[in-house]
Amino acid sequence: MLSVGLTGGIGAGKSEVSRLLSSYGAVLIDSDRIAREVVEPGTPGLAAVVEAFGPEILTDQGALDRPKLGAIVFADPERLRVLNGIVHPLVRDRSAELAAAAGPDAIVVNDVPLLTENGLAPLYDLVIVVDAAPETQLDRLVRLRGMAEEEARARMAAQATREQRLSVADLVIDNDGPLEALEPRVATVWAELVERERANRD
């Protein structure tokens, strides 16, 4: 098995790279999706979050009120640390389960938005960074996602810098251009991953 960490700044196009790698045969483990699943109604994760933050972070239907919780934790680093202390181990355990089920010859791509920020690069056989210039990221967030420029800049500033991400990269996928330029680059990286997985086996 080849374990790959995939990351990139907001607006860099990591989701599209994930989709392409998955279409080529990668087993995709999406940390963001797992982070939502481990705090769904009825889970021990949600019970632990309610115990830490109180029942007011629930909607009337008993689900996690993400905007309300977000407003609490992003204004208070200590509260964010408490939340991460609950959610991160659950995500890590579930990711490990999915990876173990993938089979010995699988290429497992772990889509981890905050890989750099959380110092997770050593967990993987190699790290792929999807890279785009900050002005490209900003343009995509404003034009394609409809974010206000101020919000887009704040979201970008809250993440690792481009230089920090590139410093942990084993492979870089340049996604500064149009979508049609991306696919051949991802196909080249996939061929390299297949080669490395074979080498691991030999």
Q: Are 18 and 113 in contact (CB under 8 A)?
A: no
Q: How confident is the model at residue 16 (pLDDT cuts 50, 70, 90)?
A: very high
Token representation of residue 103: 């089979």
What mean pLDDT value characterizes the chain? 94
pLDDT band at 202 (very low <50, low <70, confident <90, very high): confident
For the segment 92-98, the average pLDDT, to the nearest whole number, is 93
Q: Which residues contact 79 (CB under 8 A, 6 or more apart)?
A: 53, 72, 73
Q: Which domains does the chain have, with CATH numbers?
A: 2-201 (3.40.50.300)
Strands 126-131 and 171-174, sheet pairing: parallel
Average pLDDT over residues 117-138: 95
User: What are the residues whose beta carbons fall under 8 Å from the beta carbon of 154, sequence distance 6 or more?
Assistant: none
CA proximity to 105, closest of 193, 197, 22: 197
Residue 136 pLDDT grade (very low, low, confident, very high; cuts 50, 70, 90): very high
Q: 30 in helix, strand or coil?
A: strand
pLDDT tens, residue by residue, 167-190 = 999 999 999 988 889 999 999 999
For residues 17 and 186, is the Cβ–Cβ distance under 8 A? yes
